[in-house]
Chain A
Amino acid sequence: MRQIFLFVSLGMLCFGLYLGFFYDVPDSQEKINFFVSWFFIIIGISSLLMNLLWDTEKKEKNRE
């Protein structure tokens, strides 16, 4: 389950980076592209961080 979540988060982050920096945006669509790409980047980074931190918390508890 955790791997699937990580994979999806990473996918969102990569897709956001692609949209933001490599995708040839059609004229007059810059605004929506800006929003969608940064939306994916933010969600991707935060879900990655949340997943990793949640995991470390569990490990610490187990050690205790």
Chain B
Amino acid sequence: MNKKVAIIFVLTLAALGYLIYYSFGPSSTTHIGPQVNPESLKPTKSTAVSQNNETPKIYHNKDITENFYAIIVPQSWQIQSSASRAGEYDFNFSGGTAKVELMDVPDNSTLELFVLSQEEPQLKNLLTGYKRIDYKKMNLNGNEAYQLSYLSDINDTKYESIRTYITGQDQAAIITLSLPQAMNASLKNTSNLTINSFSWENK
């Protein structure tokens, strides 16, 4: 073996070692795969359109490439930024919670099949007193969507949850609203406005 070949061999081993460290080492999660843009966690602007005497806020999420979206929420909803992952928002409001998140649907499945065969059985296992109220297919601003409504018990309180799955170009979006069953109709109406405001911004 000549010197040059030996040097290349050693360099190759070093490069492979570095590749393994870079791919699977402790810092690998920060540079491979989707990354959070900290700016996008902040609300970028609010509109002047008023509903129910309060100014709604528009959130433009640009955390994950190909999965940019916008959603309008009432001003009174408090964002829980500390609990959010990439592409996710958590909101608290009087009596209930809301969550917007992105979900990867396997390429060999459709969103509807995934919801019925994977998501619903999982919810049944996770939640106590799970009972399906309604399931429907809908069109949300030109996107196919599936809405699953169900009841569950959280701390001895009956909660009604509406989970809306919206198809996207790459990932699907999920909007989950959980409200006490005894909520008033206006709160339900506000929640529906939030769901209907969702739109993809992949341009």
A residues at B contact (CB < 8 Å): 26-28, 30-31, 34-35, 38-39, 42-43, 46, 49-50, 53-54, 57
Partner of A46, one of B12, B20, B28: B12
Tell me the bound Cα distance from A38 to B22 in angstroms.
11
What sequence of 0s and 1s flags, for each residue 18-50 of chain B, a beta carbon within 8 Å of any chain A beta carbon?
011001100010001100000000000000000
Beta-carbon contact of B16 and A42 below 8 Å = yes
Beta-carbon contact of A50 and B170 below 8 Å = no
Beta-carbon contact of A57 and B2 below 8 Å = yes
Q: B149 contacts the other chain (Cβ, under 8 Å)?
A: no
Residues on the B chain within 8 Å of A38, using CB: 19, 23
Q: B156 contacts the other chain (Cβ, under 8 Å)?
A: no
Residues on the A chain within 8 Å of B123, using CB: none
CB-nearest residue of chain A to B7: A53
Residues on the A chain within 8 Å of B9, using CB: 46, 50
Beta-carbon contact of A31 and B12 below 8 Å = no
Residues on the B chain within 8 Å of A26, using CB: 107
Residues on the B chain within 8 Å of A49, using CB: 8
Tell me the bound Cα distance from A44 to B12 in angstroms.
10
Residues on the A chain within 8 Å of B170, using CB: 27
Give the top 10 A-B pairs by smallest Cβ distance, nearest first: A46-B12, A35-B23, A27-B104, A57-B2, A53-B4, A50-B5, A42-B15, A30-B33, A31-B32, A49-B8
Q: B171 contacts the other chain (Cβ, under 8 Å)?
A: yes
Q: A46-B12, A54-B5 given. 17 additional CB < 8 A pairs?
A: A26-B107, A27-B104, A27-B170, A30-B32, A31-B33, A34-B32, A35-B19, A35-B23, A38-B19, A38-B23, A42-B16, A42-B19, A46-B8, A46-B15, A53-B4, A54-B1, A57-B4
Residues on the B chain within 8 Å of A39, using CB: 16, 19
Tell me the bound Cα distance from A50 to B157 in angstroms.
71
Beta-carbon contact of A53 and B8 below 8 Å = yes
Residues on the B chain within 8 Å of A53, using CB: 2, 4-5, 8
In the assembled complex, 26 residue pairs joining A and B whose CB atoms fall closer than 8 Å, in A order, are A26-B107, A27-B107, A27-B171, A28-B104, A30-B33, A31-B23, A31-B24, A34-B23, A35-B24, A38-B23, A39-B16, A42-B12, A42-B19, A43-B12, A43-B16, A46-B8, A46-B9, A46-B15, A49-B8, A50-B5, A50-B9, A54-B1, A54-B2, A54-B5, A57-B4, A57-B5
